[in-house]
Amino acid sequence: MTTTTATWLAELTDALGADSVLTDPDVTAGYARDQAMLAPAGTPAAVVFPRCTDDVVAVMRVAARHGLPVVPRGAGSGLAGASNAVDGGITVVMTRMDAVLEISPADRLAVVQPGVVNKQLRDAVAGAGLFYPPDPSSYDWCTIGGNLSTNSGGLCCVKYGVTTDYVLGLEVVLADGRVLRTGRRTVKGVTGYDLARLFVGSEGTLGIITEATLALRPAPKKPVTLAATFATTAQTGQVVERVVTSGLVPSLLEVMDNTCIRAVDDLLKADLDRDARALLVAQSDAGGEAAAQEIAALEELCREAGAEFVHSTDDPAEGDLLLAARRMALPALEQLGSTLIDDVAVPRSRIAQFLDGCDTVAAARALTIGVVGHAGDGNMHPTICFDPVDADQRERAFAAFDDILELGLALGGTITGEHGVGVIKVDWLEREIGPVALDVHRSIKSALDPAGLLNPGTVFRAAHRDATLGR
With vertex at residue 343, the alpha carbon angle to CA 363 and CA 449, rounded to the nearest 5 degrees, is: 140
Of 124, 244, 270, 462, the one binding its own copies (CB under 8 A) is: 244
Of 50, 89, 201, 456, the one binding its own copies (CB under 8 A) is: 201
With vertex at residue 396, the alpha carbon angle to CA 392 and CA 402, rounded to the nearest 5 degrees, is: 150
CB of 264 closer than 8 Å to CB of 335: no
The residues near 169 (Cβ < 8 Å, ≥ 6 apart) are 181, 182, 183, 184, 185, 196, 212, 213
Dist CA 69 CA 6 (whole Å): 16
Dist CA 322 CA 319 (whole Å): 5
Of 91, 182, 233, 258, the one binding its own copies (CB under 8 A) is: 182
- Calculate the dihedral angle through the C-alpha atoms of 403, 404, 410, 415, rounding to the nearest 10 degrees: -120
Cβ 454 to its own copies, closest distance in Å?
13
Binning the chain into helix, strand and coil, the percentages to the nearest 5 are 40, 20, 40
CB of 69 closer than 8 Å to CB of 453: yes
Cβ 220 to its own copies, closest distance in Å?
10
The residues near 32 (Cβ < 8 Å, ≥ 6 apart) are 41, 42, 43, 44, 84, 85, 91
Dist CA 208 CA 258 (whole Å): 42
Of 83, 138, 147, 379, the one binding its own copies (CB under 8 A) is: 379
354 counts as binding its own copies under rule CB under 8 A: no
107 counts as binding its own copies under rule CB under 8 A: yes
Cβ 378 to its own copies, closest distance in Å?
5
Residue 227: strand pairing partners: 281, 311
151 counts as binding its own copies under rule CB under 8 A: yes
101 counts as binding its own copies under rule CB under 8 A: no
How many residues form the binding site for its own copies (CB under 8 A)?
Answer: 90
φ, ψ at 317 (rounded to 5°): -65, -45
Other Cβ atoms less than 10 A from the Cβ of 96: the count is: 15
Which listed range, 58-66, 135-143, 152-160, 314-322, lies at the site for its own copies (CB under 8 A)?
Answer: 152-160
Other Cβ atoms less than 10 A from the Cβ of 366: the count is: 10
Dist CA 361 CA 404 (whole Å): 7
- Site residues for its own copies, window 388-447 (CB under 8 A)? 412-421, 425, 429, 432-434, 436-437, 439-441, 443-444, 446-447
Q: How far apart are the first and last CA of the chain?
A: 20
Q: Alpha carbon of 443 to those of 53, 197, 205, 206: distances in Å?
A: 27, 17, 13, 12
308 counts as binding its own copies under rule CB under 8 A: no
185 counts as binding its own copies under rule CB under 8 A: yes
165 counts as binding its own copies under rule CB under 8 A: yes
Phi-psi region of 155 (alpha: psi -120 to 50; beta: other; left: phi over 0): alpha
Cβ 219 to its own copies, closest distance in Å?
6
464 counts as binding its own copies under rule CB under 8 A: no
- Site residues for its own copies, window 247-286 (CB under 8 A)? 247-249, 286
Of 184, 311, 327, 394, the one binding its own copies (CB under 8 A) is: 184
Closer by beta carbon to its own copies, 143 or else 182: 182
- Site residues for its own copies, window 440-459 (CB under 8 A)? 440-441, 443-444, 446-448, 459
64 counts as binding its own copies under rule CB under 8 A: no
Of 180, 253, 256, 407, the one binding its own copies (CB under 8 A) is: 180
378 counts as binding its own copies under rule CB under 8 A: yes
Of 51, 61, 119, 197, the one binding its own copies (CB under 8 A) is: 197
Cβ 468 to its own copies, closest distance in Å?
22
Closer by beta carbon to its own copies, 150 or else 233: 150
61 counts as binding its own copies under rule CB under 8 A: no
Cβ 236 to its own copies, closest distance in Å?
14
208 counts as binding its own copies under rule CB under 8 A: no
Which listed range, 19-27, 28-36, 116-124, 373-381, lies at the site for its own copies (CB under 8 A)?
Answer: 373-381
Cβ 362 to its own copies, closest distance in Å?
23
What DSSP line would sit under 20-35, residue for residue? GEE--HHHHGGGS--S
CB of 338 closer than 8 Å to CB of 37: yes
158 counts as binding its own copies under rule CB under 8 A: yes
Of 129, 306, 316, 331, the one binding its own copies (CB under 8 A) is: 129
Dist CA 190 CA 188 (whole Å): 7
Of 134, 153, 204, 319, the one binding its own copies (CB under 8 A) is: 153
Which listed range, 114-122, 246-254, 305-313, 324-332, lies at the site for its own copies (CB under 8 A)?
Answer: 246-254
